[in-house]
C-alpha cells in the first residue's frame, strides 16, 4: 500500500463497478456474485482496463481477501459444537467422500492429460474444493439454503473448508523443496516447533473466544459506545487471522474456529450484526478482483484447451456429486440442487494454486490456466442455479423446495424473537418457555444478559434497532416478534424497522402509556399492551378484596376495566391527532389524565351480573 | 362411630348479593368438625389447583357442595371443579378409588318455591330430580350419596328472622352428616 491515492482510486473503480453491475445482475435474476464478477471483468484489462495489475491496486486485493476470512468467521458463528456434532454424518461421510473422490478423479484426468503425477494430485485436490462464498451467497439469495439439498451442500462446503488445512500442510511434500512461497514467520523453524506453535495458536483462539472475548465485550457494552463493538469485532477477526498466518495456518480456518468457539456466547448476534456489512462488501470486492484478474488472453490463445479443462472439471466433479447423490439416496430434486451447486472450484483454489506455484508443484503456465478455469467454473455456478430454479424446480422440485422451514435447520432460527428481557420481557419469555417455545432473546444490558444466562436463558447481547442484528437473529424467517423494550423511542424504531423490512412478522408490542398505545394502534400495530395496566389492575383487585369485596367480583371488575381500556384506546386512537400537532403536544399531559378518566366505567360493579342477585331468581323462578 | 370430617365446598359467584346462602355458610362455619372452602374466593380466576383439591378431599369423610340453584344446576365454577378434580384414575375408572365410601351431599338455595318444583308445577320436576347428574357422578365415584338439603323460595325470605330457622336446620343437617347416618329431610 505504498501509494494511498492508488488505494482510493482503485476503491473508487471497484465500488463504482459493483454499484452499477450488481443491481443490474440482480434485476436480471443472475444473483449478486455474478454481478460482482461481471463488474470485475468490465474494469479488467480486457474491457475498460481501469485497473492496472494487482500490484497497483494499493492493497485493495488483500483487503478483499479478508472478506473470505470474515465470511468463515461468520459461518463458524452459526455453528455451535452440538450442531457440528449432529452434522458429523453428512460432514465426514458426504464431505469426505466428495473431496476424496473428486480429488482422485480430477488428478486422474490431469494425468491422462499428460501432467506429472505430483502436479496432477495437487491440482486435483485443489479443484475438488467448491466455492463456499458463491454457493452460500447464491443459495441464500434464492432461499434454497434451508432445503435438504442446500443443507447437504453446506455440510460438504464445511468439510472442504476444514480440508484446506491438511492440504496446506501436505502441499510442500509434493513440491521441489523450494519453499519460496513462505509459510509465515515460522517457515525456517524445525517441524516440531511449528507443530507446537500450531497447537498453541489454536488453544489461544479457544481461550480468546471462551474467556477473553466475553469479558472484553461485557466491558465494551458497559461503556455504551456502539462503534467500539464494530472495532472490537474487526479486531478479533484480524487478530485471529494474524495469529494463524504467523503459525502457517489458513487465516480463514482460524477465523472459522474462532467463530465456532464464540457461537455459544451471548455476543453472537451482535458480532454477526457488526460484521455483516463488512463481509458483504469485502466479499463483493473479492469477487470483483477475481473478475478483474482473470487472464482472458489465455482464453484467446488456448480457447479449446481452456474450454476442455472447464468441461472436464465440470463433468468429473459433477459426476462425482451425482454419484454421491445416488449413494446417499437423495431424491431427484435434492440431488439436482446438490450437484448443480457444488460442481465449480472455489476461492480457496486461488490461494492454494498460488502456494503450489510458489513451491514449484505447479508451473506458471498451468497455474495461469487453472486460475482461469476456476474463475470460469465459478461464473457458471449462478447460471447452473438459474437452470435449477427455472427449469428443474418447476417440474420436479416442488416437494423439498417449497417447505424450507424445518426444525432441524443448521442456522437454528427460532420462529419467535423477543426484544428486551427486562422487567416486562422476562415475564413474556418465561411464559413462552413454559409452553415449549424458545425465542431468540435480544437484550442491550450486558450485565443483565450475563445474569439471565447464568439462570439458563438463551439471551443474546445486542441492540435490536439495528437491521443487521435483527437479520442475524433470523427476523427474515421468524413468525413473531415481541417488542418488550422499555424505552418508547426504541419501541417505535423497532416497530418501524419490523414493519418495513419484515412485513411477515406478527408484532406484540409493549406500550409506555395510553397515548403511546393509541399511537401504536394508529401505526397499524394490532397487539399493544400497556406496560403497567396488568399489574396495576391486579393491585386494584387485591385492594378491593381487602375492602371486603368477594374475590370473584373484584377479579371481574379488574377484567372489565381492562376490556374497557382496550376498547377506549381503539376508539380514541383515530381522533387523537385531530387537533393540530402543537395543541396536542401542549395538551398531552392533560389528555393523558383525561383519557384515563374518560375510560372509567360509570357503574363500578358492572351491569352484567344481575343473574346472581337473589331477586333475579325470583323473577324467573328458576 | 367416630364423627366424620365434613368438607363444605361453598360456591357463590356474588355472595354479597345473597341473603340465605350467606347466612347458611356462616352457620356451617360455626359447626365443629366442618371445614368450609369458598371456591369463588380461592379461584376467582377459575384456575383450580387439582392436586390441592384432591389432597383436601382425601382428608375428609363427607363432601358437601353448597351453592345457589342456577338454571337447574350449580354455578359454573362447580362444573369446572368437577371436570378437573374428579380425574379418571383418581376418582373413577381403573384405580380411581380415592373417594370410595365417602359421603356426597348438596345444600342448595333456590328462588322458586316448592309449588313450582313438582310434577304439576312449571318446572315439572323437583330440585332433587334436577340434581340427578350430581347424584350419578357421586355414584360413579363410588360415593355414598345422600339426599340434598334444599331451601326453597329464597326471594321471600327477607328478614333475618325468616332465614334463621333454615340456618338451624342446616346446622342439624350438617351435624347428622358428621355424626349419624345422615338420612335426612328435604326442607320446606
CA distance B43 to chain A (A): 8
How many H-runs (helices) and E-runs (strands) does chain A carry?
30, 6
CB contact under 8 A, A551 and B70: no
**Is B159 near chain A, with CB under 8 Å?**
no
Question: Residue A579: pLDDT band by 50, 70, 90 thresholds?
Answer: low
- The chain B residue lying nearest A605, using CA atoms, is B14
Q: Which of A202, A453, A149 is nearest to A329 (CA)?
A: A149
Q: What pLDDT band is residue B168 in, cutting at 50, 70 and 90? A: very high
Closest chain A residue to B124 measured between Cα atoms? A622
Helix (H, G, I), strand (E, B) or coil at A604: coil
Q: How far, in Å, CA of B177 to CA of B188, rounded? A: 19
Which residues on A lie below 8 Å from B20 (Cβ)? 614
Q: Which residues of A touch B13 (CB under 8 A)?
A: 552-553, 609, 612
Cα-Cα-Cα-Cα torsion A389, A390, A392, A395, nearest 10 degrees, comes to 120
Radius of gyration in angstroms for the set of CA atoms belonging to chain A, rounded to a whole number: 30
Per-residue model confidence (pLDDT) at position A146:
72
When pLDDT is averaged across residues A260-285 and rounded to a whole number, the result is 81
pLDDT at residue A142, as a whole number: 77
Contact across the interface for B112 and A611, Cβ inside 8 Å: no
Nearest C-alpha neighbor of A473 from the set A486, A457, A493, A459: A459
Do the Cβ atoms of B14 and A622 come within 8 Å? no
The whole-angstrom distance between A615's CA and the closest CA on chain B is: 6
Residues contacting residue A392 through CB under 8 Å, at least 6 positions apart: A333, A336, A340
Of A551, A553, A622, the CB nearest to B72: A622
Question: Looking at residue A599, what is its pLDDT?
Answer: 56
Are A527 and A508 in contact, with CB atoms under 8 Å apart?
Answer: yes
What percentage of chain A carries pLDDT values higher than 90? 16
The predicted structure's pLDDT at residue B158: 86
Of A393 and A525, the one with more pLDDT = A525
| Ordered alpha helix ranges (H), A403-441 | 425-434
Strand partners, A440: A417
Average pLDDT over residues A388-415: 52
As a whole number of angstroms, the distance between CA A212 and CA A193 comes to 26
| pLDDT over threshold 50, residue A622 | no
Chain A contacts to B (CB-CB under 8 A): 549-556, 609, 611-618, 620-622
HSE (side-chain half, CA atoms, 13 Å) at A154: 25
- Cα–Cα distance, A164 to A331 (Å, whole number): 29
**Chain A residues within an 8 Å CB radius of B16:** 549-550, 553
Residues 122 to 141 of B: which have CB under 8 A from any A CB? Answer: 122-123
What percentage of chain B reaches a pLDDT higher than 70?
95
Question: Could B20 and A614 be called an inter-chain contact, meaning their C-beta atoms sit closer than 8 Å?
Answer: yes
Q: Decide the pairing of beta strands B103-109 and B144-145.
A: parallel
C-alpha cell at A45: 484489462
Task: Tell me the backbone φ, ψ of residue A530, rounded to 5 degrees.
Answer: -60, 130
Average confidence (pLDDT) over A178-198: 60
Instruction: Name the 3-class secondary structure at A179.
Output: coil
Phi and psi at residue A575, in whole multiples of 5°? -100, 5
Nearest chain A CA: its distance from B184 CA (Å): 24
Average pLDDT over residues A442-459: 79
Every domain of chain B and the residues it spans: 6-179
Question: Do the Cβ atoms of A552 and B13 come within 8 Å?
Answer: yes
The pLDDT of A15-22, averaged and rounded, is 84
Q: Where are the alpha helices (H) located in A294-424, listed in sequence order?
A: 296-301, 303-327, 332-342, 347-358, 364-387, 393-396, 398-402
Angle at A171 between CA A168 and CA A176, to 5 degrees: 145
Nearest CA in chain A to B14: A612
CB distance A352 to A167 below 8 Å: yes
Evaluate if residue A398 carries a pLDDT over 70. Answer: no
DSSP state at residue A512: S
Pick the more confident residue, A26 or B159: B159
Which residue does chain B place closest to A556, by CA atoms? B44
On the question of pLDDT at A187 being above 60, the answer is: no
> A557 to chain B: nearest residue by CA?
B44
Q: Please give the full DSSP string across A317-347, using - where no structure is assigned.
A: HHHHHHHHHHHTT--HHHHHHHHHHH-S--H
Task: Report the alpha-carbon distance of residue B110 to residue A484 in Å, rounded.
Answer: 50
Please tell me the predicted confidence (pLDDT) of residue B1. 58
**Beta carbons of A553 and B16 less than 8 Å apart:** yes
Residue A407 confidence class, pLDDT cut points 50, 70, 90: very low
Choose, out of B12, B13, B14, the residue to mutate when testing the contact with A (most A CBs < 10 Å). B14
Contact B13 A609 (CB under 8 A): yes
Taken as a whole, chain A contains a residue count of 622
What pLDDT, on the 0 to 100 scale, is given for residue A614?
65
**Chain mean pLDDT for chain B:** 92
Interface test with A, best of B69, B113, B155 (most A CBs within 10 A): B155
pLDDT of residue A606: 47
pLDDT for B183 beyond 90: no
Helix (H) or strand (E) holding B7: strand B6-10
Mean pLDDT of A553-575: 84
Residue of B nearest to A541 (CA): B44
| Residue A372: φ, ψ to 5° | -65, -40
Backbone angles phi, psi at B9, to 5 degrees: -95, 105
More confident of the two residues A314 and A198? A314
> Residue A605 pLDDT more than 50?
no
Q: Output the pTM of the full model.
A: 0.59
Instruction: Say yes or no: B96 contacts chain A, CB-CB below 8 A.
Output: no
Partner-chain residue, chosen from B44, B111, B113, that has the shortest CB–CB distance to A555: B44
A619 vs chain B: nearest CA distance in angstroms? 9
**Chain A partners within 8 Å of B45 (Cβ):** 555
Total count of residues recorded for chain B: 188
Query: Domains in chain A, start-ordered, CATH in brackets?
Result: 71-261+295-397 (1.20.1530.20), 416-611 (3.40.50.720)
Write the CB contacts of A140 (distance below 8 Å, at least 6 apart in sequence): none
Residues in chain B within 8 Å Cβ distance of A554: 44
Q: Calculate mean pLDDT across residues A594-603.
A: 54
In this prediction, residue A406 carries a pLDDT of 31
Helix and strand numbers, DSSP H then E, in chain B: 7, 6
Most confident of A226-230, A323-327, A353-357, B178-182: A323-327
Residue A90 gets which letter from DSSP?
I
Q: Which of A356-365, A408-417, A445-454, B64-73 is predicted least confidently?
A: A408-417
| pLDDT of B31 | 96
Q: Give chain B positions within 8 Å (CB) of A550.
A: 14-16, 40-41, 44
Res A404 pLDDT > 80: no
Rounded CA-CA distance A313/A290 in Å is 19
Q: What pLDDT does A392 receive?
A: 73
> How many Cβ pairs within 8 Å bridge chains A and B?
72
How do residues A56-89 score in pLDDT, each as one tens digit?
555 666 777 777 788 778 878 877 777 777 777 7
CATH number of B6-179, picked from 3.40.640.10, 3.40.50.2000, 3.40.50.300, 3.40.50.360: 3.40.50.360
Nearest-Cα distance to chain A for B176, in Å, is: 28
Q: Is residue A391 within 8 Å of A383, Cβ to Cβ?
A: no
Q: Please state, as a whole number, how many other Cβ atoms lie within 10 Å of the Cβ of residue B119.
A: 9
Q: Which residues of A touch B155 (CB under 8 A)?
A: 614-615, 617-618
For A614, the closest of B71, B113, B154 (CB atoms) is B154
CA nearest neighbour of A62 among A310, A314, A286: A286
Is A335's pLDDT higher than 80?
yes
**Residue contact B16–A612, C-beta within 8 A:** no
Nearest residue of chain A to residue B18 (CA atoms): A614
**Residue B106 CA to chain centroid, in angstroms?**
3
Q: Which of A26-30, A106-110, A533-537, B135-139 has the highest mean pLDDT?
A: B135-139
HSE at residue A94, side-chain half, CA atoms within 13 A, is: 26
* Per-chain mean pLDDT for chain A: 79
Contacts of A297 (CB under 8 A, 6+ apart): A46
Note the pLDDT tens digit of each residue in B76-96: 999 999 999 999 999 999 999
pLDDT at B154 over 60: yes
Summarize pLDDT for A462-518 with one digit per residue, the tens: 788 888 888 888 888 899 999 999 888 899 999 988 988 898 999 999 999 888 998
Does the pLDDT at position A3 exceed 70? no
Cβ pair B180, B145 in contact under 8 A: no
> What residue of B is the nearest CA neighbor of A545?
B41
Q: Tell which residue, B60, B72, B84, B46, has the closest CA to residue B9.
A: B60
CA–CA dist A3, A465 (Å, integer): 39
pLDDT band at A401 (very low <50, low <70, confident <90, very high): very low
> Which of A94-98, A208-212, B13-17, B156-160 is the least confident region?
A208-212
Indicate left, alpha or beta for B88 from its phi (over 0: left) and psi (-120 to 50: alpha). Answer: beta
Amino acid at each position: 500500500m505504498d501509494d494511498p491515492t492508488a488505494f482510493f482510486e482503485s476503491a473508487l473503480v471497484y465500488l463504482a463497478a459493483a454499484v452499477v453491475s450488481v443491481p443490474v445482475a440482480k434485476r436480471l435474476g443472475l444473483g449478486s456474485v455474478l454481478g460482482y464478477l461481471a463488474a470485475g471483468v468490465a474494469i479488467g484489462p480486457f474491457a475498460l482496463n481501469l485497473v492496472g495489475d494487482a500490484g497497483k491496486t494499493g492493497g485493495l486485493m488483500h483487503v478483499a481477501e479478508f472478506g473470505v476470512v470474515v465470511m468463515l468467521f461468520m459461518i463458524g458463528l452459526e455453528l455451535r459444537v452440538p450442531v457440528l456434532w449432529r452434522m458429523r454424518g453428512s460432514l465426514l461421510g458426504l464431505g469426505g467422500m466428495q473431496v476424496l473422490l473428486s480429488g482422485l478423479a480430477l488428478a486422474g484426468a490431469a494425468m491422462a492429460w499428460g501432467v506429472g503425477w505430483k502436479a496432477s494430485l495437487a491440482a486435483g485436490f485443489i479443484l475438488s474444493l467448491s466455492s463456499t462464498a458463491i454457493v452460500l451467497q447464491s443459495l441464500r439469495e434464492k432461499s434454497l439454503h434451508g432445503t435438504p439439498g442446500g443443507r447437504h451442500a453446506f455440510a460438504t462446503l464445511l468439510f472442504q473448508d476444514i480440508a484446506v488445512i491438511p492440504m496446506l500442510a501436505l502441499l510442500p511434500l509434493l513440491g521441489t523443496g523450494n519453499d519460496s512461497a513462505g509459510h509465515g514467520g515460522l517457515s525456517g523453524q524445525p517441524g516440531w516447533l511449528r507443530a507446537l506453535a500450531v497447537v498453541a495458536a489454536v488453544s489461544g483462539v479457544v481461550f480468546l473466544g471462551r474467556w477473553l472475548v466475553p469479558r472484553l465485550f461485557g466491558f465494551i457494552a458497559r461503556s455504551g459506545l456502539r462503534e467500539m463493538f464494530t472495532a472490537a469485532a474487526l479486531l478479533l477477526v484480524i487478530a485471529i487471522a494474524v495469529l494463524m498466518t504467523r503459525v502457517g495456518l489458513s487465516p480463514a480456518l482460524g477465523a472459522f474456529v474462532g467463530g465456532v468457539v464464540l457461537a455459544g456466547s451471548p455476543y453472537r448476534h451482535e458480532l454477526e450484526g457488526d460484521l455483516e456489512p463488512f463481509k458483504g462488501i469485502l466479499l463483493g470486492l473479492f469477487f470483483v478482483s477475481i473478475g478483474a484478474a482473470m487472464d482472458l488472453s489465455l482464453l484467446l490463445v488456448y480457447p479449446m484447451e481452456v474450454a476442455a479443462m472447464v468441461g472436464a472439471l465440470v463433468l468429473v466433479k459433477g459426476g462425482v456429486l451425482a454419484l454421491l447423490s445416488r449413494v446417499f439416496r437423495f431424491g431427484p430434486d435434492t440431488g439436482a440442487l446438490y450437484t448443480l451447486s457444488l460442481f465449480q472450484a472455489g476461492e480457496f483454489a486461488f490461494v492454494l494454486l498460488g502456494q503450489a506455484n510458489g513451491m514449484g508443484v505447479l508451473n506458471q503456465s498451468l497455474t495461469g490456466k487453472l486460475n482461469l478455469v476456476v474463475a470460469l467454473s465459478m461464473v457458471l455456478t449462478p447460471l447452473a442455479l438459474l437452470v435449477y430454479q427455472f427449469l428443474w424446480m418447476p417440474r420436479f422440485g416442488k416437494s423439498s423446495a417449497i417447505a424450507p422451514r424445518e426444525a432441524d435447520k443448521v442456522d437454528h432460527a427460532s420462529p419467535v424473537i423477543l426484544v428486551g428481557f427486562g422487567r416486562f420481557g422476562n415475564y413474556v419469555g418465561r411464559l413462552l418457555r413454559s409452553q415449549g417455545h424458545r425465542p431468540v432473546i435480544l437484550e442491550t444490558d450486558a450485565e443483565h444478559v450475563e445474569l439471565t444466562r447464568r439462570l439458563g436463558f438463551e439471551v443474546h447481547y445486542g441492540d435490536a434497532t439495528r437491521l443487521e442484528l435483527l437479520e442475524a437473529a433470523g427476523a427474515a424467517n421468524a413468525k413473531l416478534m415481541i417488542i418488550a423494550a422499555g424505552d418508547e423511542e426504541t419501541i417505535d424504531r423497532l416497530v418501524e424497522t419490523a414493519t418495513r423490512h419484515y412485513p411477515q412478522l406478527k408484532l406484540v408490542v409493549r406500550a409506555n402509556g395510553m397515548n403511546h398505545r393509541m399511537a401504536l394502534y394508529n401505526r397499524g400495530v394490532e397487539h399493544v399492551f400497556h406496560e403497567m395496566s396488568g399489574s396495576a389492575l391486579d393491585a386494584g383487585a387485591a385492594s378491593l378484596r381487602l375492602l371486603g369485596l368477594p374475590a370473584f367480583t373484584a377479579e371481574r371488575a379488574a377484567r372489565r376495566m381492562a376490556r374497557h381500556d382496550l376498547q377506549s384506546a381503539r376508539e380514541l386512537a383515530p381522533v387523537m391527532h385531530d387537533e393540530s400537532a402543537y395543541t396536542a403536544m401542549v395538551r398531552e399531559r392533560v389528555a393523558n389524565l383525561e383519557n384515563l378518566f374518560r375510560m372509567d366505567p360509570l357503574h363500578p360493579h358492572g351491569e352484567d351480573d344481575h343473574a346472581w342477585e337473589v331477586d333475579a331468581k325470583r323473577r324467573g323462578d328458576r | 362411630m367416630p364423627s366424620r370430617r365434613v368438607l363444605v365446598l361453598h360456591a357463590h359467584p356474588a355472595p354479597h348479593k345473597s341473603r340465605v346462602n350467606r347466612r347458611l355458610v356462616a352457620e356451617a362455619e360455626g359447626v365443629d368438625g366442618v371445614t368450609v372452602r369458598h371456591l369463588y374466593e380461592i379461584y376467582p380466576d377459575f384456575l383450580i389447583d387439582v392436586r390441592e383439591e384432591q389432597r383436601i378431599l382425601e382428608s375428609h369423610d363427607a363432601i358437601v357442595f353448597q351453592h345457589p340453584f342456577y338454571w337447574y344446576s350449580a354455578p359454573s365454577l362447580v362444573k369446572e371443579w368437577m371436570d378437573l378434580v374428579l380425574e379418571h384414575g383418581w376418582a373413577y375408572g381403573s384405580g380411581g378409588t380415592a373417594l370410595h365410601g365417602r359421603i356426597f351431599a348438596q345444600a342448595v338455595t333456590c328462588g322458586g318455591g316448592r309449588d313450582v318444583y313438582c310434577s304439576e308445577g312449571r318446572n315439572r320436576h323437583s330440585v332433587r330430580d334436577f340434581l340427578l347428574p350430581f347424584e350419578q357422578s357421586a355414584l360413579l365415584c363410588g360415593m355414598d350419596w345422600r339426599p340434598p338439603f334444599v331451601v326453597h323460595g329464597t326471594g321471600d325470605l327477607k328478614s333475618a328472622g325468616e332465614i334463621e330457622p333454615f340456618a338451624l336446620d342446616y346446622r342439624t343437617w350438617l351435624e347428622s352428616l358428621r355424626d349419624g347416618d345422615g338420612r335426612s329431610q328435604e326442607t320446606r
